[in-house]
Chains A and B, each alone.
Chain A
């Protein structure tokens, strides 16, 4: 297999390379932030070099301990979580974790989250000088933190302001990760695009709640959580579909992708790349299985270039 053409299977050539706002990916399959740690956790199970991109756990300026437990509860065909952005902070990330990824041939995208707009600017500037960072994914959609997080992602003007500040702090491609917990995701996407974003990630988790019948209290230590997994997929495909029609930015589609069929659905709706999140918990090799399934679909349907499929459902 050569990285650029994605390989030759049964004599058919399939071109899998995509570009996300300036980030060249050898194939469209990435990992979703927060579900894949810093990559090394999954290295025993898959060859990380075969991923289209690695999106690491959300990083903040200062270390964060995270939310009280329980942090996770399974719901019907889904998972509700409230981790609370537990992370070692940007300095330890750059000093201790990032170097471990240097040996891999794949774009590393760093998810950043702040309490304030200034936090985002500082994170962008700090990571701009860090070697081995292909781009930033701006988390304005975390439902599990008290300050910042989703509130930046639910107000179009604030979303735009965060985008501008990050763009001013870095020359690297900036991907803005959108929240589905808004009245109009298109309105947010339009503002973020106008503010200079290079690409969009969508969707983050859906705000949810599970209540324990015995204790009559929320199950999660933090109360509310973010819903992911197959249960949210139609919502995510819809969001990608709507935004693709109105905003001319490449989209990394995510939300409940388990199989190649799920991934192709996102691509047909308008996603240029896809990210797998909860699927990694079920099957540590899910990204590789999805990649193989996409190739198979392309060969069976005589699709030479994955880019031909992007947004095809609109045509």
Chain B
């Protein structure tokens, strides 16, 4: 965990409003684990004030580079998107609890909804390093939002696309498509509605899974209790866990969905 000024290497608009930014940040590249995030200072001024939590999307340890994949959703991310090659960005991290490794045997799947591929891509990089190849269920509203299919296949994984409008792959949700191709372990990230239905399927079929959540954050280090998420462990009432330190990745069965 550290505070550092990373230097922007590349800023790429994949489709309008969705950016992949590569930064030089050797320590982060060395220490980051899939599922962790960076708390990014988007403005130099005091408005917008807070940092923005952004998943680590990809890591190149040899080059000491870290990539973020994000959608412009408001003032902070708009400022982030305006950063250019050579600019410095203050980052805090890597933060949070990432994905755990799959058990050595058994089939592994990844389910991503739209921008939810952001942290899962880093996981897929790491899985292929240990020669574990996953079925990757990529869901999106429409074809052009099926991100990084060819890169994922180049890592050795199999891509199963699903679109809400039927412009590519399965016509329907990514969870429906996964349900037709169950596996032993699944890692998910995407909109709350998608993760909620994914978790329901995992419970029904007793499948081990982990999901990465998103929540508004203050400090990012566990102090302010803003990014609370209702969770439950065996034999206890619900409690509020901190997405920034107990998460952002949680065992699928622990999340209490609204």
Q: Which residues of A contact B (CB under 8 A)?
A: 34-37, 41-42, 44-45, 57, 65-66, 69-74, 76-79, 81, 83, 86, 229-230, 258, 278, 280-285
Interface residue B49 (Cβ < 8 Å from any Cβ of A):
yes
Given contacts A76-B47, A278-B49, A281-B50, is CB(A37)–CB(B223) below 8 Å? Answer: yes
Query: Smallest Cβ distance from A305 to chain B, in angstroms?
Result: 30
Query: Smallest Cβ distance from B210 to chain A, in angstroms?
Result: 20
Q: Do B240 and A42 touch (CB < 8 A)? A: no
A-B contacts, 29 listed (Cβ < 8 Å): A34-B225, A35-B218, A37-B224, A41-B245, A42-B221, A44-B221, A57-B223, A57-B225, A65-B239, A65-B240, A66-B240, A69-B230, A69-B240, A74-B49, A77-B46, A77-B47, A78-B49, A83-B224, A83-B225, A86-B228, A230-B47, A258-B46, A280-B219, A281-B50, A281-B218, A282-B41, A282-B49, A282-B51, A285-B3
A77 to B50, CA, bound (A): 9
Which DSSP category, helix, strand, loop or mixed, fits chain B's interface?
loop
Residues of A within 8 Å of B41, CB to CB, are 282
Q: Do A71 and B92 touch (CB < 8 A)? A: no
Given contacts A230-B46, A281-B50, is CB(A69)–CB(B215) below 8 Å? Answer: yes
Q: Do A79 and B49 touch (CB < 8 A)? A: yes
Give B98-132 interface residues, CB cut-off 8 Å to A. none
Contact residue range for chain B? 20 to 34
Q: Do A41 and B223 touch (CB < 8 A)? A: yes
A34 to B218, CA, bound (A): 11
Give B2-26 interface residues, CB cut-off 8 Å to A. 3
Q: Do A72 and B92 touch (CB < 8 A)? A: no
Q: Which residues of B contact A (CB under 8 A)?
A: 1, 3, 41, 46-51, 76, 92, 215-230, 238-240, 245
Shortest Cβ distance from B238 into A: residue: A65
Q: Do A77 and B224 touch (CB < 8 A)? A: no
Q: Do A37 and B222 touch (CB < 8 A)? A: yes
Q: Do A281 and B240 touch (CB < 8 A)? A: no
Shortest Cβ distance from B48 into A: residue: A74
Residues of A within 8 Å of B239, CB to CB, are 65
A280 to B49, CA, bound (A): 11
Shortest Cβ distance from A35 into B: residue: B224
Q: Do A79 and B218 touch (CB < 8 A)? A: yes
Shortest Cβ distance from A37 into B: residue: B223
A76 to B75, CA, bound (A): 11
User: Which of B3, B50, B229 has its CB near the most chain A CB atoms (within 10 A)?
Assistant: B50
A103 to B60, CA, bound (A): 39
